[in-house]
């Protein structure tokens, strides 16, 4: 079956910019793994006439039409009613869904309003998809050589419903017998354009496995996906492609799947039984905050000082007055002393210092985005790093923390 898919997101709140259309992103990523071609994303408000027009347009250009949203109990939830009209079918009550809704209200000791019964209505002849995390069930109906799929709008309901019921349905409809295995590779310190350039021939020549690059938050990820009837063979295909990628950009690979660069740093610190402390100026405690969100941090992070003002740098972190006067708070020497002194003050194995101009206005004679990171490891020469970052204040601070993790990981890996 040659697939041409359209995803229709229903909800005026999407058009008003009140929420982001993350459902379309999620579905496109999942469908790409199945080799299903998504040709159009459409967003339409809670309006019966416009939704009907949208459905008829989609029918002209797609044979799989996926709806998100508009399955709830209120009057502006119009998806299944409108689709029923377009298809010339009727809505009937699904007794399992109705029982589930009634029992939910009994358990919560709440009175069920009459309009909640609407959520149990389904298209006649449709396969009903159970909603394990909400009340409105999803639906799949095959008619006129097309597949119509309906999912609730909340991502917490849509995602498990699609993974548990929608995805297997599509695989069965396509006659998909192959095992589909994906692996996410995470990179930092290299831009998306440079990474794509380094592996351009692999991307252009991809068949099986495939490569899908994504960029965000200063990082780049590659999703590698392989298909084969035998899972072990699919894994071997992934391993072979990963090795080719690592030959080109392995120096920037820091982890896999849903990890973060901070989580990877904590793992290495735990493995090497090292402690760390931080002196943070422009990051304002962000490094320590992110580290304490990771498991095992109590064995790693001894403490830190948010030394935002020049006075605190001097009084608490013992940065020399002559450094602040002659070099400035935003300087290589200041970052060096922050790292060395916080290590000595706390007795940690590693000290890390952050100083710089996050903006929006520079306080010294350095341009916004100028950042210095100092790393002092016991028994090793202190390292300092200069960054010139673009973007807004929040982005500069977040990327500064990630660069601190990245540089420290490089030092610790070379040490081992």
Domain boundaries, the chain: 5-173, 179-256, 261-415
Q: Which of 191-195, 200-204, 260-264 has the highest mean pLDDT?
A: 260-264
Averaged confidence pLDDT in the chain: 93
Tell me the CATH number of domain 261-415, given options 3.40.50.720, 1.10.150.130, 3.90.480.20, 3.90.950.20: 3.90.950.20
- Distance, CA of 227 to CA of 34 (rounded, Å): 9
pLDDT (0 to 100) of residue 416: 47
| 247-263 pLDDT, tens digit each | 999 999 999 998 999 99
| 370-413 pLDDT, tens digit each | 999 999 999 999 999 999 998 899 999 999 999 999 999 999 98
Least Cα distance to 81 among 30, 118, 42 occurs for 118
**Domains 5-173 and 261-415 are alike in CATH topology:** no
For 5-173, give the CATH class. Answer: alpha beta
pLDDT (0 to 100) of residue 3: 85
Adjacency order of strands within the sheet including 276-280: 301-306, 276-280, 350-356, 370-377, 383-388
Give residues with Cβ within 8 angstroms of 265, minimum separation 6. Answer: 291, 405, 408, 409
Please state, for a pLDDT cut of 70, what percent of the chain lies above it.
99
Give residues with Cβ within 8 angstroms of 175, minimum separation 6. Answer: 1
Instruction: Give backbone dihedrals phi and psi of 25, rounded to 5 degrees, phi first.
Output: -60, -50
Given a cut of 90, whether residue 214 has pLDDT beyond it is no
Least Cα distance to 188 among 371, 363, 355, 409 occurs for 409
Least Cα distance to 219 among 243, 195, 245, 247 occurs for 195
Neighbours of 180 (CB within 10 A): 16
Tell me the CATH number of domain 179-256, given options 3.40.50.1780, 3.30.930.10, 3.30.2090.10, 3.30.70.2860: 3.30.70.2860
Q: What's the whole-model pTM score?
A: 0.73
């Amino acid at each position: 079956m040659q697939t041409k898919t359209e995803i229709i997101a229903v909800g005026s709140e999407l058009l008003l910019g009140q929420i982001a259309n993350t459902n379309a992103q999620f579905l496109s990523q999942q469908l790409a793994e199945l080799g299903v071609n998504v040709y159009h994303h459409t967003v339409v408000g809670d309006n019966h006439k416009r939704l009907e027009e949208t459905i008829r347009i989609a029918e002209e250009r797609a044979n799989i039409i996926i709806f998100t949203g508009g399955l709830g109990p209120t009057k502006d939830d119009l998806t299944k009613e409108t689709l029923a009209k377009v298809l010339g079918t009727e809505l009937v009550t699904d007794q399992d869904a109705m029982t589930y809704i009634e029992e939910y209200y009994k358990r919560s000791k709440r009175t069920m309003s009459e309009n909640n019964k609407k959520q149990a209505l389904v298209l006649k002849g449709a396969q009903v998809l159970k909603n394990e995390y909400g009340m409105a069930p999803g639906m799949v109906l095959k008619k006129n050589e097309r597949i119509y799929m309906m999912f609730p709008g909340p991502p917490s309901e849509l995602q498990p419903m699609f993974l548990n019921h929608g995805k297997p349905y599509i695989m069965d409809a396509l006659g998909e017998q192959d095992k589909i295995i994906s692996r996410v590779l995470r990179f930092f310190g290299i831009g998306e354009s440079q990474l794509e350039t380094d592996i351009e021939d692999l991307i252009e020549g991809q068949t099986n496995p495939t490569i899908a690059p994504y960029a965000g938050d200063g990082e780049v990820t590659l999703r590698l996906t392989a298909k084969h009837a035998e899972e072990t063979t699919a894994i071997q295909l992934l391993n072979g492609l990963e090795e080719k990628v690592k030959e080109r950009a392995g120096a920037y690979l820091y982890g896999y799947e849903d990890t973060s660069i901070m989580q990877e740093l904590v793992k290495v610190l735990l493995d090497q039984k090292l402690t760390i402390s931080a002196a943070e100026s422009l990051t304002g405690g962000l490094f320590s905050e992110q580290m304490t969100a990771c498991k095992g941090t109590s064995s790693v992070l001894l403490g830190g000082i948010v030394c935002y003002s020049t006075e605190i740098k001097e009084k608490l972190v013992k940065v020399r007055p002559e450094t602040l006067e002659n070099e400035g708070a935003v300087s290589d020497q200041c970052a060096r002393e922050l790292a060395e002194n916080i290590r000595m003050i706390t007795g940690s194995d590693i000290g890390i210092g952050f100083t710089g101009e996050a903006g929006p206005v520079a306080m010294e004679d350095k341009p916004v985005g100028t950042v210095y990171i100092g790393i002092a490891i016991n028994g090793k020469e202190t390292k300092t790093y200069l960054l010139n970052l673009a973007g807004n204040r929040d982005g500069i601070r977040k990327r500064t923390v990630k660069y601190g993790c990245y540089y420290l990981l490089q030092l610790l890996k070379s040490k081992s």
